[in-house]
Structure 1
């Protein structure tokens, strides 16, 4: 929420970290989904809903592992009402120094619940849409 004393530009506080967070998480989701799916197919699983579900959950897990540090920093920068942080790098350094590396994984379980379920829904939908839109091979 934007405070009155932050002015109009306060509406965009944390925009940079939010863009970085979304780019990192989206890249992790997309890259890991295909890799996990190919690995599962290589282990003999069929290209079906079960495989898509497992690959979607795996993609959500990797996205949270990779994205959590950026997510924590983004949230702290956006919520910094007291001016504790001079920016993203300062927040990262102070968090690591004062709380240790595990601080970057606070909220991991709820984040995985959210991103894991999102990835399952997104990739199941994608796979079903691909199946509907891909023409059957002609013989």
Structure 2
């Protein structure tokens, strides 16, 4: 065995879609408290029920939440967060290659930087458009507090939050903030996916993972 050999059968779009969403969900399980702390710090001073609670720094915010609202508080909105990752990450990451191939002219050896950027913007915008309701619900749970009778929690669960927002604010209420979110994530997706795509291509072309010299390790030769 000389080195690692790439599979001759590339993963299907469905495999990429599900793989990206699952990986993002696993990551969310570890990083969700940090996201909740970010939201609490951003809205500090706006929540009347929590005016007497002062958050200082990321770790301080998490510890304060645990002390005043319980151990589960840093994970408020986790279900909606997982909904978001399965719809958001699956599209922006899992469909990137397919969209890039769609934009690439027939007969071209590699996609240009412009095409990769266009593909990143497209999947980023598509992901936000589809996942925005889950993001709205996630942030509402993260922003709400549980401070006894002063609690501002108005949703009994994730599905109830979807129904309540749609009933009280209209269907458009679930898509609040879509345009700025599309702008933000289109830029983020371009920076992440295009950079990753170029580095991956250079690594494969250099044969660093096979142990063979470039003329003998053309990973595209048999595909």
TM-score range, shorter chain: 0.7 to 0.9
Shifted more, 121-130 versus 4-13: the winner is 4-13
**Number of residue pairs aligned between Structure 1 and Structure 2:** 139
TM-score by length of 2: 0.56
Could you tell me how far 1:48 is from its partner in structure 2? 0.9
1:30 aligns to 2:93 (yes or no): yes
Structure 1 gap segments, 5+ residues each = none
Structure 2 gap segments, 5+ residues each = 1-39, 41-64, 146-151, 207-213, 217-223
What's 1:90 paired with?
A: 160
1:23-42 alpha-carbon deviations (Å, 9 max, x no partner): 32110112332222111114
The structure carrying a bigger helix percent of its residues is: 1
**1 or 2 for the larger relative contact order (CA 8 Å, sep ≥6)?**
1
What's 1:15 paired with?
A: 78
1:106 aligns to 2:157 (yes or no): no
TM-score by length of 1: 0.87
1:116-127 equivalences under 5 Å are 116-127=186-197
**What CA RMSD, in Å, does the superposition of the two structures yield over aligned residues?**
2.2
Partner SS for 1:8 = coil
Shifted more, 114-123 versus 74-83: the winner is 74-83
